[in-house]
Chain A
Amino acid sequence: MEFALSEEQRMLQDSVRRFLEQNAPLDKVRLAAGNTHTVQRSLWAGASEMGIPGMLIPEDFGGMGLGFLDAAIVYEMIGRHVAPLPFLGTAVMAPLALMLAGSEAQQEKWLPRIAAGEILAGVAVTEKIGIREDAGVKARNGTLTGKSLFVIDWAEADLYIVADSDHGLHLVLPDAKGLSRRALNTIDKTRSVGELVFDQVAAEPLPRSSADAVARVIDAGRVMLAADTLGAGQMMIEKAVAYAGERKQFGRVIGSFQAVKHLCAEMAAALEPSRSLVWYAAHALDEVPGDAHLMACHAKSHLSEVGRFVARTATEVHGGMGFTDLLGLHYWFKRIGFDRQLLGGPELVRLEAARLQGWAA
């Protein structure tokens, strides 16, 4: 049994960490957060040089042909740095949709360009998880009509992968006639989401679409969000520990008080086991199909809860400072809060897991 990252995976994670330390420090995140719906092109170009957009894409299409565990440890690093990168849609969910459901021609047309970092792809699948208000997209005679909310990697996308209400997946170009787009400002200013409204928009169906393909795209997205929370949570713990080691009250560093020490230890005790869960959920996407859906639910719901606990507790350890824009801790707090709801909040995902196991009607 080998339950650990390989040497290559550790090197991959280290190189992404170094890249983000140099290229996405907090002052850059802060600047980017002022322009949420503008893609940080130089950062994306740097990530593209490392092959990040094509991680999951087979080598035949110019990608690296790596697995979900590799993608998860990369997104963990991106979460750690609250980096404004369109990774989730462009590098994971859209290529996966194309690989699972696209025709050969579609794959040949789009995957190499995604892998090269030339184009960005948004993903509109939120309505498959919980239909809100009047949202939902209907396909009819090669056109789409309806509304999709919380479209992932919405900004400057060169194509959108859109799920309809019948498990169909479609390719839609941003300049398609009848498509209107609206940016959505959210609590997390490091990632862009938006709204798409379709009025008989010409769409190209992915011919091998199925309920299973849609579910696998969502599973992958959920595991990635769990990994993002893992990385963001880890950074919050490190920041809290560092602060507790510097801040002095009553003539001692506050980390020497058991009340504060235990807050830090509780965070570590909550987060570290969940790292194993994220790894296994990602590994299951690659290698254990029978476990993959359930594990994706588990990772998503559990990391949502652990992440919230860590975000709250790390803020508490920082006292008033944790509450300010000055320190920027809130970027992590909000990123974790955003991960929690995107692609299904933990309450909904747990119900899904219970049903999957035959526990609930």
Chain B
Amino acid sequence: MNIDFTPEDEAFRDEVRGFIAANLPPECADSPALGVMTDKSVVKRWHKTLYEKGWAAPAWPEEYGGTGWNATQRFIFNEEIAKANAPRLMPFGLTMVGPVIYTFGNAEQKSRHLQGILSGDVWWCQGYSEPGAGSDLASLKTMAVRDGDHYVVNGQKIWTSYAHEADWIFCLVRTEQSAKRQEGISFLLIDMRTPGIEVRPIISIAGLHHLNEVFFTDVKVPVQNLIGEENKGWTYAKYLLVHERTSIGGVPESKKKAAHIRAIARAERNADGGALMDDPAFQRKLAEIEVKLTSLEYMNLRILADAAAGKAVGPQSSLLKIVGSEVQQALGELAVEAVGYYIEPFEQGVLPGGVNARGIGPAHAWNVWADYGYGRAASIYGGSNEIQHDVIAKAILNL
């Protein structure tokens, strides 16, 4: 067993760090935000910067524009990105539909879509969940009926992040009413400008708009936009779900948050006027979370090492999801405790992203509540933690 980073890894880290330092837009680096939301133009600019360097899609095969880095290098890259407070690139193209297209798409689809995803010029959103199909995704009802050289799509998607800013949506649609529900589902790419698509906002607990409902009324989609075979969409969707699941624990983001909380605790006072960081009760809470985070990180590294050795990432990703969301939420709670009264002021809607812009109280407290509220979603999205527990019981413990 050797878990040290090699000198080559460290040199790589220096290179990444140097590039970020030289190129990250200052409004990102200086932002006190815990990363609730970043303005689209800033994300696009940063995406373009990485794209021009050739680093937009480290996990992609080199022939489609990937970097050829190994798993360790990708981990280092993600860690440095998080440390620098760089905005996360939108995952819907780069880590979701992109890999599906280069794995299952035909030559025409690859040449049409991959470049726009890589450069960040084309934004995607994900049309999976429906009002009646959340945890039970296979019960989805949005219909696509074949009519000559196109499908006619009718139905509704929900929880569609950034649909209001997306150019395209990748959708799971029902193309056949079969006995086994998973078998009548197809994977369609739909241009958001197609007539018959309506996007309605869902305002979240933090008062932000990034979620939407998307309604389809007689939307005509060319059959060329079908990925792979008709009625095999569930296979591609499952591939997507396990693909890149190694990052679902959110280790770099949580490490960044923990560092942010340490900074808060050095600045905030406890009841006796001493630094909060010197308060043993606070130290104990932070230490407990950091231990859990460290074990998560090592588990993540172990899975990465397995992946690098060619082993598939299986149901362990459910463990990463559960522990990762628990750590993230525990950090959110601790930040709330650390800023005390200053979680309470909440001014909204001035800065991009609309989070506590006027900033009452110290800057480090501005986004703590929004982050706490938003963080409640971590145990719900991407398969709720209750569902993840079921997966562990079934697929790991054979219960």
Contact between A316 and B379, CB atoms less than 8 A apart: yes
Q: Is the CB of A326 within 8 A of B202?
A: yes
CA gap between A348 and B339 in the complex, in Å: 12
**Chain A residues, Cβ within 8 Å of B376:** 312, 315-316, 322-323, 333
A326 to B158, CA, bound (A): 13
CB distance from B392 to the nearest CB of A (A): 12
- What are 17 residue pairs bridging A and B, where the CB atoms are less than 8 Å apart in the complex? A186-B344, A186-B345, A187-B369, A249-B135, A251-B136, A259-B389, A263-B386, A315-B205, A319-B134, A319-B135, A322-B205, A323-B204, A325-B203, A337-B336, A337-B369, A337-B372, A341-B341
**Please, what's the 1-or-0 string for B338-362, where 1 marks a CB less than 8 Å from any CB in chain A?**
0011111111100000000000110
Chain B residues with Cβ below 8 Å from A133 are 361
Chain B proximity mask over A204-228: 1 for CB below 8 Å, otherwise 0: 0000000000000000000000000
- Nearest A residue to B159 via CB reads A320
Chain A contacts of B159 at CB under 8 A?
Answer: 320
Q: How far is the CA of A316 from the CA of B389 in the complex (A)?
A: 14
The bracket for how many chain B residues form the interface is 35 or more
The interface residues of chain A lying within 8 Å CB-to-CB of B281 are 347, 351
Q: Which residue of A lies closest to B268 (CB)?
A: A132
- Bound form: Cα–Cα A188–B346 in Å: 9
Task: Write the nearest CB–CB distance from B173 to chain A, whole angstroms.
Answer: 19
> Is A62 close to B, CB under 8 A?
no
B380 and A316 contacting across the interface, CB-CB below 8 Å = yes
Q: For chain B residues 192-223, which have a beta carbon within 8 Å of chain A?
A: 202-205, 207, 211
Contact assessment for A342 and B344 in the assembled complex, using a CB-CB cutoff below 8 Å: yes
Main secondary structure, interface of B, reads mixed
Residues of B within 8 A of A186 (CB): 344-346
- What 7 A-B pairs come out closest when comparing CB atoms? A249-B136, A325-B203, A259-B386, A330-B205, A186-B344, A187-B346, A250-B136
- On chain B, the residues within 8 Å of A12 by CB distance are none
B18 proximal to A (CB < 8 A): no
Q: Which residue of chain A has the shortest Cβ distance to B390 in the bound complex?
A: A259
Chain B residues packing against A (C-beta within 8 Å) = 129, 132-136, 139, 158-159, 202-205, 207, 211, 270-271, 281-282, 329, 333, 336-337, 340-348, 360-361, 369, 372-373, 376-377, 379-381, 384-386, 389-390
Q: Are A324 and B340 in contact (CB under 8 A)?
A: no
Contact across chains for B139 and A320 when beta carbons are under 8 A apart: no
Q: Kindly supply a per-residue 1/0 record for chain A positions 304-325, scoring 1 wherever the CB is within 8 Å of any chain B CB and 0 otherwise.
A: 0000100010011001101111
- Does A58 reach chain B (CB closer than 8 Å)? no
B203–A324 CB distance below 8 A:
yes
CA distance A330 to B206 in the complex (A): 9
Measured CA separation A323–B132 after assembly (Å): 16
Contact B380 A320 (CB under 8 A): yes
Contact with B along A329-355 (1 / 0, CB 8 A): 110011001100110010110011000
A residues 133-179 touching B (CB-CB < 8 Å): 133, 149-150
A344 → chain B, closest Cβ, in Å? Answer: 9
Count how many chain A residues have C-beta atoms less than 8 Å from C-beta atoms of the other chain.
45
CA gap between A249 and B384 in the complex, in Å: 13
CB distance from A56 to the nearest CB of B (A): 26
Compute how far the CA of A263 lies from the CA of B340 in the bound complex, rounded to whole angstroms.
Answer: 28
Which residues from A are CB-within-8-Å of B380?
316, 319-320, 322-323
**In the assembled complex, which residues on chain A have CB atoms less than 8 Å from the CB atom of B372?**
337
- Within 8 Å by CB of B202, from A250, A263, A324, A337, lies A324
Given A193-B344, A330-B205: 5 more A-B contacts, CB < 8 Å? A249-B134, A316-B386, A320-B377, A323-B211, A347-B281
- Does A126 make an interface contact (CB < 8 A)? yes
The answer for the CA separation of A315 and B374 in the assembled complex, in Å, is: 12
Chain A residues near B270 (CB, 8 Å)? 348
A204 to chain B, nearest CB (A): 28
Contacts known (A259-B389, A333-B373, A348-B271); A320 close to B205, Cβ less than 8 A = no
In the bound assembly, the distance between CA atoms of A260 and B386 in angstroms comes to 8
Q: Is A185 interfacial (CB 8 A cutoff)?
A: yes
B379 to chain A, nearest CB (A): 6
Judge whether A245 is part of the interface by a CB distance below 8 angstroms.
Answer: no
